[in-house]
Chain A
Amino acid sequence: MAKITYHTHDNKIHTVDVQKGLTVMEGAIQNDIPGIDADCGGGMACATCHVYVKEQWLDKLPAKEDGEEDMLDMAFEPKNNSRLSCQLIVSDELDGLEVNIPSKQG
C-alpha cells in the first residue's frame, strides 16, 4: 500500500491507501474520488484522468511514454506538471504522492 493524496477542485483533500501496482487513476475510481472520469478505462486514449502532480514529485515519476504528451494536448487546461493518472503506477517510491484534480476533464 502507498498513501496517495488527491486534492479535488472543491478544496477537499482525500488521502487514501492505494495498492501497489494499481494506477493513481484506479486509486481515485476505487475510492470514489470525484473529478477523474477515465472514460477509456486506462488506455491512454482519452485524457479524462488528467491530474496536476505536486512539483516535488515530478522527477520521481516514471517518464512519459510516447503518446501521453499527445493525449495531454487534448486535456482541459494542461500545464507543465500535467500527467495522465492512468500512467502512474503506484509503488513504494510514490508513497506520499500528491496530485491536484482539475476543475473538469472536458
Chain B
Amino acid sequence: MNKTDVLIIGAGPTGLFCAHQLGIIGLSCEIVDNLDKAGGQCIELYPDKPIYDIPAVPECTGEELTNNLLKQIKPFNIKFHLNERVEELKKNKNRWHVKTSAGIEFDVAAIVIAGGVGSFEPRKFPVKECEKFEGNSLFYSIKDKSIFKDKTISIFGGGDSALDWAIELSNNSKVNLIHRRDGFSGAEASVQKVKELNEQGKLNLYTKFQMDSVLGDKNIEKVKIKHDEGESKEIKSDYVLGFFGLIMQLGPILDWGLNIDKKTVQVNTENFETNINGIFAIGDICSYPGKLKLILSGFHEGALAARGCFKYAKPDEKLRFEFTTTSKAAQERLGIKK
C-alpha cells in the first residue's frame, strides 16, 4: 500500500504542475499514467510541434515543455507509476483507497484527476472479426518480436510505427505493408527505405488498400484487402499488425459517480473540486462555464486544486498564502541552499 497525501491521475503538463504546487505547500503526491512516459498529449500527440502560448515562453515543443516541468518538480522526488491505469476507487473513512490495473494500491487523502481526454488506447481495426484474433495473431503493439521470425506479417498503417516495424521485421519475416493512400505520414527516410525494399522484393507494399476482412479459424490465415477502386486481394498472413495511433478513452472514471457531461467532469471554479468531496479535476478533462482547453488554464486549475487538497491532507493545519520568492518553507521544500 502506497500512502501519500494526493494521487494525481495523469502525467501531462497539468498533472505535473499540480504536483509542483502540492510540493510547494508541503503535501506529498504520486502520479499514475497509462502511457509509458510523462508528458500526456504533449508527448504523445505533438512532441516536436511548437507551442506558442505558454506565458513567458515564446516558443517550445511538447517535449521541451515536459522536460522543463519534470525538472521543476525534481526537488520533490515524486514517484511515478507509468503504464498503469486507475481502475477502482473506494472511500475509506476520510481517505480514499485506489487500485490500479496492475494491482498497485494507494491510500490517499485526495485525488486530482488530470486525465486530459482520458487514457490513450490503440485505435483498432473497424472490421469486427479482428476482436476474435486480438492478442493471439493480431496486435496493436509489439512486445516480443521473436514470434514473427520466418512468418508472414501484414502491417496496416502509414505512420512511423508502421514504417519502422515494416523495415525492422522485413529482415526475418515476409512483410506486407498496407496503407490507405500513396502518401505516408512517417519520416521521409523511412518511406524511401520501404519503397526500396519493395522494389528489391524484400517487402510487399500495397497502397490505396484497406482491410476488408480477416480469415482464419483459431489463428489468422489470410487477410482480404480492398483497393479504392474496388479490386480485392487475399493475402496469406500469420500475423496482422495495426498501427493507427492512439485514441483517448475516459475508461473507469465514468463509473465513479462524478458529474460527467460530454466526456468532461464538472467542477467548481473555486478549487476545481468535483461533485464528490476530495476528488478534483483539472486540465482538459474538467469543465466549467468559460473553460478554455489551454495548458495555461490547466496550470491555474492545478494551483487551486492543490490548495483545495490541503484541508483533506492536513485537516488540523491552516494553509497560509506565501510567495516562493520569499517563503523560507517553500524554498526549503525546493531544496534551495543559501
User: Which residues of A are at the interface with B, using a C-beta cutoff of 8 A?
Assistant: 29, 37, 39-41, 45-48, 69-70, 73-74, 76-78, 80, 105-106
Contact B244 A45 (CB under 8 A): no
A70 to chain B: which residues have CB within 8 Å?
Answer: 158-159, 183, 185
User: Which residues of B are at the interface with A, using a C-beta cutoff of 8 A?
Assistant: 41, 45-46, 117-118, 123, 126, 157-159, 179-181, 183, 185, 210, 228, 244-245, 247-249, 262-263, 284, 293
Bound: A77/B183 CA distance, A: 17
Chain A residue nearest to B49 in the complex (CB): A45
Bound: A105/B121 CA distance, A: 13
Chain A residue nearest to B121 in the complex (CB): A106
Inter-chain contact total with CB atoms closer than 8 Å: 52
Contact A106 B247 (CB under 8 A): yes
Contact B157 A73 (CB under 8 A): yes
B248 to chain A: which residues have CB within 8 Å?
Answer: 39, 46
Bound: A40/B126 CA distance, A: 21
> Given A37-B263, A39-B117, A48-B247, A77 and B45 touching (CB < 8 A)?
no
B284 to chain A: which residues have CB within 8 Å?
Answer: 41
A47 to chain B: which residues have CB within 8 Å?
Answer: 245
Contact B123 A106 (CB under 8 A): yes
Please list the 3 inter-chain residue pairs (A to B) with the smallest Cβ-Cβ separation, ordered nearest first. Answer: A70-B185, A106-B247, A74-B245
Contact A73 B159 (CB under 8 A): yes
B183 to chain A: which residues have CB within 8 Å?
Answer: 69-70
Contact A45 B46 (CB under 8 A): yes
> Which residue of B118, B181, B244 is within 8 Å of A74 (Cβ)?
B244
> Given A39-B117, A39-B248, A77-B126, A45 and B45 touching (CB < 8 A)?
yes
Contact A41 B293 (CB under 8 A): yes
Bound: A74/B181 CA distance, A: 12
Contact B126 A73 (CB under 8 A): no
Chain B residue nearest to A37 in the complex (CB): B263
